[in-house]
Amino acid sequence: MSEVRTYTIAQDGQSIACHRCGLTSHNANDVRQRYCAKCGTFHVIRGPGYWQDEVSGVLRPVVEDLLNGKVLSADQIAIMRAYLQQWIGSPVWDRNPFLDAISTPHLEDLRRRVDKITTDDDLEEWLVDADNYGFDPL
Q: Which residues bind Zn ion (CB under 5 A)?
A: 18, 20-21, 23, 36, 38-39
Minimum CB–partner distance for residue 100 and Zn ion (Å): 29
Distance CA 122, CA 112 (A): 13
Minimum CB–partner distance for residue 8 and Zn ion (Å): 12
Minimum CB–partner distance for residue 21 and Zn ion (Å): 3
Pick between residue 41 and residue 85 the one whose CB is nearest to Zn ion. Answer: 41
Instruction: Give the residue from 7, 26, 5 showing the smallest Cα distance to 15.
Output: 26
Pick between residue 38 and residue 112 the one whose CB is nearest to Zn ion. Answer: 38
Residue nearest to Zn ion (CB): 18
Pick between residue 19 and residue 70 the one whose CB is nearest to Zn ion. Answer: 19
Within 8 A by CB and 6+ apart from 109, the residues are 129
Distance CA 92, CA 97 (A): 10
